[in-house]
Structure 1
Amino acid sequence: MISKEPVWDNPSEPYYFRYMVIGLAPEGKVRVWLQNNGQPNIEQTSTKITTISGEKLDMCKGVTKHPTGYVYYGETPDFIKGKKYPYGSW
């Protein structure tokens, strides 16, 4: 993703963002920031984000090794048992 930022330390030179920071939370909540070069990241508050899954995917279809979704292994299931956050229920 390369996006021009109109407000920068030197307005005579355009600044293009190269990286997005994506934050995921339970209940399907997503926040996106443009990673800023040495400055605070810029949250994209007015940008509409559409999430898709399953058969609607183009790029990541079939990437997971689990046919029915993600599975926790080892000590992780015991660790998350009874926790406040709905691990695995995104």
Structure 2
Amino acid sequence: MRLVAEFTTEPFDVEGSPPAHVTEALRAAEEAGLECEFGPLGTQVSGEQQEVLSALQQVLQAAFAGGASQVTLQVRRDA
């Protein structure tokens, strides 16, 4: 089964370059081999169930290590 996860890291700042908590979370997802779509309001990743679920731990760790105060996460089956 394929899954899609969407996450947003905070604090949210739309001015300037993305902060470290955003870029580090994206980098962790990319390094895990997930398909990634980076957007202005969040990041969407997809892949096989085990890949996504395993990678989310690294994504969350990277976001908090990069200074995130909160991460909002949604996971669903890929249609």
TM class, shorter-chain normalised? under 0.3
Tell me the TM-score normalised to structure 1 length: 0.22
Higher gyration radius (CA): 1
More relative contact order, 1 or 2 (CA 8 Å, 6+ apart):
2
Tell me the TM-score normalised to structure 2 length: 0.24
Whose strand fraction is larger, Structure 1's or Structure 2's? 2
